[in-house]
Amino acid sequence: MSSWGKRADMLEHESDPYNAEPPLAALAGQPVTATDTFYSRNHGPVPDIDPDAWRLVVDGLVHTPLELSLADLAARFAERTLSATLQCAGNRRSGLIAVRDIPGEDPWQGGATSTATWTGVRLGDVLTAAGLAGGAAQVCFAAPDVSSLADPPQPYGGSVPVAKATSAEVLLAWAMNGQPLARVHGAPLRVVVPGWIGARSVKWLTRITVTTQPSDNYFQATAYRLLPPDADPDSAGPGDWLSLGPVALNCEVLSPCDGQRVAPGPTTITGYAYAGEDRAVARVDVSPDAGATWMQAHLDAPDGPWTWQHWRLDADLPLGAVQILARAWDTTGALQPEHAADLWNPKGYVNNSWACARLTVGAGPT
């Protein structure tokens, strides 16, 4: 085992703050990601919170401010369990860095996407108990993990609009995959915002504040924004450009993996596709020959409306260098864009170009 109870072969981008993703092969064929395999994205030191002393404050534009212990949450609100995929906005940044360097940002591969079952209570039920007051438009989350990456250094935070916050799928979760939430995943309580970038699923939640405006926290107001290629990320200020929320349609080849050597002949190619928020994956095409021909992959049923879908295709791989491509379509008939070069942006978000795995197919040792 390496850090934080994670499997030994995690690709660790940073140890402090801890940022690591599983090898793609570890996600292959697994509708639910084991907790020791689930990616971990952090912006500061992992807090160590005494669950007995911990309280959740709900304040701002509410009729009845609340202060709730874990026991209060469990006693006052119905317990809910939900499967949901989380995906970091920086997922597949490595493909953008291959186009042009992105200094200061981790080269996440396609493993910054994982799926777990989450147990807790609906955020909407808690907000109903507090009572939304006039002008309530945004729900802000605050946590105690102070990030020195922020300017100025500050605890992590973020917000989502009231319409999303009160949707049935948004949970305050104390358990993941049937076990109490691990410290590195936000114990004792975290937000889970299915369909939105992972950054909004705030860990180690201590305060929920209902406001008229989005959070002014650095990670909402300044970071996690899609800048155009020619924008200067160092001078982009709060509110500039596009604030990321719902995730964009994406997919990845999980097996065989990019860079792998495989034996010639019949091979099952597998991967995930994920449409986020209000859309579903309608179809996945796979090309075993760099785009010359395409076939439709078999698409597994999702574990629910908020998860990725795994896909697979049997292909006969010829000897030599083989480039496998995959591309997903959503329920509006929209297709992913082809080239990472078109998507390059100064902070390296939303690389949802067609997935690619370059293989060497040979009779030698695999």
Structure tokens at 318: 């010829």
Q: Is 278 in the site for a second copy (CB under 8 A)?
A: yes
Q: Is 276 in the site for a second copy (CB under 8 A)?
A: yes
On the CB side of 189, CA atoms within 13 Å amount to 28
* Closest alpha carbon to 156 in 112, 69, 70, 221: 221
The only residue of 283, 299, 360, 362 in contact with a second copy, by rule CB under 8 A: 283
Q: Which residues of 340-349 are buried (b: 16+ CB within 10 A; e: fewer)?
A: beebbbbbbb
Q: Which is nearer to a second copy, 74 or 231 (CB)?
A: 231
The only residue of 5, 180, 228, 238 in contact with a second copy, by rule CB under 8 A: 228
Instruction: Report the amino acid identity of residue 188.
Output: P
Q: Which is nearer to a second copy, 319 or 341 (CB)?
A: 341
Q: Is 352 in the site for a second copy (CB under 8 A)?
A: yes
Q: Is 244 in the site for a second copy (CB under 8 A)?
A: yes
- Total chain residues near a second copy (CB under 8 A): 36
Phi and psi angles of residue 341, each rounded to the nearest 5 degrees, phi first: -60, -35
Q: Is 290 in the site for a second copy (CB under 8 A)?
A: no
Structure tokens at 187: 């114990």
Q: Which range in 50-58, 212-220, 253-261, 331-339 contacts a second copy by CB under 8 A?
A: 331-339
- The residues, any chain, with a CB within 8 Å of residue 260's CB and separated by 6 or more, are 357, 359, 360, 366
Site for a second copy in 308-327 (CB under 8 A): 327
The only residue of 81, 148, 332, 366 in contact with a second copy, by rule CB under 8 A: 332
Q: What phi-psi label fits residue 212: left (phi over 0), alpha (psi between -120 and 50 degrees) or beta?
A: alpha
The only residue of 336, 357, 359, 361 in contact with a second copy, by rule CB under 8 A: 336
- In the complex, least distance from residue 332 CB atom to a second copy, rounded to whole angstroms: 4
Q: Is the dihedral of CA 309, 312, 313, 319 positive or negative?
A: positive
Residues that bind a second copy (CB under 8 A): 226, 228-229, 242, 244-249, 276-279, 282-283, 285, 294, 296, 327, 329-339, 342-343, 349-350, 352
